[in-house]
Amino acid sequence: MIREYLRALPVFAGDLPTFAPADVPGRPDELFVSWLVAAVEAGVREPHATTLSTIGPDGVPSARIVILKNVDAAGWQFAAHAASPKGRDLARHPAAALTFYWPALARQVRVRGTVRPATAEESAADFLARSAESRAEAARGRQSRPLDDRPTPEISLDPGYVLPEWTLYTVEPCDVEFWQGDKHRQHTRLRYSRATPGWDRQLLWP
């Protein structure tokens, strides 16, 4: 029953943008920013949310959503508690994938690479830019622990307090793939692969 229900759900409905891979910039972060801005303008909710996939100690991947904090030639940045499961995965195996999907535009971006923690100063600046509630919750240090019925402890943080485990991470990409969906299934895939110097570009069968 659910099989037919799923099969009947539409994909790539509505007006979709075109994508001309011949006109792209030489750097993937520049194309990414233009796609991100297009997603914002198309009204995509949380367009800066991305699925972060890491490798667990048992070799099984784990994926969860995080918020993109910055992107530039150095890479894609997100922030997390270093003692969280994802932080421990990254300490053991500093590699990850980020997957963005902007449904209104039928666009996906996949980023793969090595992960480097930022300096303590950069991580501190990210922590201090968070809301008071987010800082207090991070400082409780209970993320991903079993939720019990103990009352939430009141925490009043000094405004300059920085949680030492809060970490800004940079995914330094080895490849970045842009995927544009098409109503008639003439999808377009373009992969940037790191070269020395710069980037190679290759179209792929969708």
Ligand X SMILES: Cc1cc2nc3c(=O)[nH]c(=O)nc-3n(C[C@H](O)[C@H](O)[C@H](O)COP(=O)(O)O)c2cc1C
Report phi then psi at 11, rounded to 5: -130, 145
Q: Which is nearer to ligand X, 143 or 193 (CB)?
A: 143
115 is in an annotated binding site: no
Q: Does 178 sit near ligand X (CB under 6 A)?
A: no
Integer Cα distance of 147 and 135 in angstroms: 19
Q: Does 64 sit near ligand X (CB under 6 A)?
A: yes
Q: Which residue has the tokens 């690479």?
A: 113
Which x/- pattern, by CB under 6 A, does the window 84-113 give for ligand X? Answer: xxx---------------------------
CB 161 within 8 A of CB 176: no
Q: Does 144 sit near ligand X (CB under 6 A)?
A: yes
CB 114 within 8 A of CB 95: yes
**What b-and-e string marks burial along 30-45, b requiring 16 or more CB atoms within 10 Å of the CB?**
ebbeebbebbeebebe
Q: Which is nearer to ligand X, 26 or 61 (CB)?
A: 61
Identify the residue among 31, 39, 66, 168 touching ligand X (CB under 6 A): 66
Annotated binding site: 64-69, 86, 108, 143-144, 179, 189
| Site of interaction with ligand X (CB under 6 A) | 46, 49, 62, 64-67, 78-80, 84-86, 143-144
